[in-house]
Structure 1
Amino acid sequence: MAVFVALGAFLMTLFGGWTAQRVTDRRHLVLGLAGGLMLGVVGLDLLPEALEAAGHEVFGVPQALLLFVGGFLVAHMVERLLAVGRAAHGARDQKTPEVGLTAAAAMVGHSLMDGVAIGAAFQVGDRMGVTVALAVIAHDFADGFNTYTLTSLYGNTRAKALAMLFADACAPVVGAASTLLFTLPVELLGSYLGFFGGALLYLAAAEILPEAHHPHPARSTLFCTAAGAGFIWLVTGLAE
């Protein structure tokens, strides 16, 4: 089941890369909706489940919350390191193809862990698996878009950009399939989901939503974001 659902992430990543080659003026609406979906999944479903599975306290704070903050910080540090690399090598007249490939490879690694998160969530239960998969699929459009863009931006050929895009698309499926080989303890699952939720929230708040509003600060984008979060609230309520 986890591998089958992960195919949705595969297709969405490819769709994001395809869109990167044919950017339209409506991309901000898609990214706004994706950010709202991710926010809803993290705050309304993923974090409560993580707290239930790994809620014992470490120095007065639930373990899942500590890892949630840790996931946010790790995602922030990785993004900042990549940004420093881009600033150091991104001059127009000094494009460095290796920088683009490195950044794209980091995206592939991130997508691999997304697949592991899907598989781990299905070990908790089908409903949890579907909601985590929805969050992954929602932001994989941006992953595919960014993977293709980062690779080509630094002077790599179209063939290399497409190869990195395909690797990024396959990574969630491989990650989900890997969880068929082992079963994680419930507390470890909760801890991982808490960490994953923090990283996912960072992607939504610091990457996807700012990108959605940067070129087109419009009320329609805000509406799509609110609609995405509201949709997750509705799905979560109906599932109870």
Structure 2
Amino acid sequence: MFTASLFFTITNYLNAQASSDYQVVKTKYYTSSTPFHAKNPKQNIYLWNAKHTKRLHNLKNYPNSFWTRAKTVTLRKNNKSAIYYYVAGMTPHGTPNLYGYVWRGYLKPGYNPNYKVWNGLDINYFLSNKDYQRYIDQSPSQNLSRKVLHLFPNARLSLKLSKLTAYGSTLTDFQKQFSDVLMVKNANYAFYNPRGKVTSANQKLAAIKAAFDAQGYNQQKRSALNGYQIGIYYESNRQTGGVLSYDDGYYAGVTVAKPLN
């Protein structure tokens, strides 16, 4: 037993010594928190400490999470180099202290695609129209967005147009990339709660629909908008009765337009 114990101790020591031979030869920092997720959420993928001597977390234990990159480091050992990301874990339940270094080959860009468990994601980091559509289709915070999109059954969701809407862009900004821009101020106001009152998604939808009707865009005309694209941004907070959060710095609303190209 003593011999086995001694062998185990020496082996662990030698493994630690070998791992500590990793050298940082290059570091790059980032100003934006680009999200990544595991290519294979069922695979053992470890976050390491800076010296690559200790496993801190296993990504397999956080299958619904995504990981934001703060910096990239190039590690060298025995004349071989590998690029690692220093990441912070973002979980649906806000699990703290998920930090570490992970080989970049284990990750792929974008949010975790299981949007059923996610709310309030930054619109800037969706990868495509399809990605943003999946979020709207699945996220609990997008109930109103789904209802509004149904008012325009033949308009295709556009991430680019949605970003312009969220940024509170001017008509001139829209016209640089789109034509026949349809923005109805009263419809966009209806995404918000009136002062001192919380309105439900259905109440907001009725007000949005009424605003378009008043502008001459009834359901028949809305359904005839073939070849148009639609941009939308809205986030609700289920914990506060569906109140729109004003803290993210974006504007709620919907815009319909034709792309120039």
Same-fold status (TM-score > 0.5)? no
Greater per-residue helix proportion: 1
Which structure has more relative contact order (CA 8 Å, sep 6+)? It is 1
- TM-score, scaled to structure 2: 0.22
TM-score calculated relative to the size of structure 1: 0.24
In our comparison, the structure showing a higher alpha carbon Rg is 2
In terms of fraction of residues, the more strand-rich structure is 2
